[in-house]
């Protein structure tokens, strides 16, 4: 397994088909929303401090996750972890943690915190293991990672 995390500068040049198919099998539509929002320009992860990252095992994209400016925060110092997904066969191997760490390290200097929302017990455990605290501060936030 030759894992490599890379910033995605143009999602149109990346094959996300397998991520979309696998996530939809699990009942998640957020990876297909990622692709459609990127395609129509709604979200290209292109504002100051924003970024989209992928994890590759050789030539295969096995995980993806993005960071957007949290429009719900006052002061603009909060980011939102968005569209974070790892293929099922790559879970529990540290891939998601490496991706999460890369995203949070690159967010420092632009943001003071990262928020996300999940309704899954497995995702809750993942985020807590990666330094997030459970903090249900709004309908759109369940976990917060302080970058300070």
CATH label, 3-146, candidates 3.10.350.10, 3.40.50.300, 1.20.1250.20, 3.40.630.30: 3.40.630.30
- pLDDT confidence of residue 114: 97
- The pLDDT of residue 71 is 77
* Structural domain spans, the chain: 3-146
7 - beta bridge partners? 53
Alpha carbon separation from 84 to 9, 25, 42, 60, 75 (Å, rounded): 17, 16, 17, 16, 24
pLDDT at 148: 86
Separation of alpha carbons 124 and 13, rounded Å: 31
- Which ranges of the chain have pLDDT less than 70? 72-76
H/E element, 40? helix 30-40
pTM (2 d.p.): 0.93
């Amino acid at each position: 397994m030759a894992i490599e995390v890379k910033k995605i500068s143009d999602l149109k040049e990346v094959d996300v088909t397998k991520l979309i198919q696998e996530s939809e099998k699990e009942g998640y539509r957020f990876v297909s929303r990622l692709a459609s929002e990127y395609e129509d320009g709604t979200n290209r992860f292109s504002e100051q401090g924003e970024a989209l990252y992928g994890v590759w095992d050789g030539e295969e994209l096995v995980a993806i996750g993005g960071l957007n400016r949290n429009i719900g925060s006052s002061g603009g110092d909060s980011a939102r972890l968005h569209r974070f997904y790892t293929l099922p066969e790559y879970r529990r191997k540290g891939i998601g943690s490496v991706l999460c760490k890369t995203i949070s390290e690159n967010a420092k200097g632009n943001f003071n915190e990262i928020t996300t929302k999940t309704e899954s017990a497995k995702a809750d455990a993942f985020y807590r293991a990666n330094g997030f605290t459970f903090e249900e501060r709004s309908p759109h936030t369940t976990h917060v990672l302080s970058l300070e």
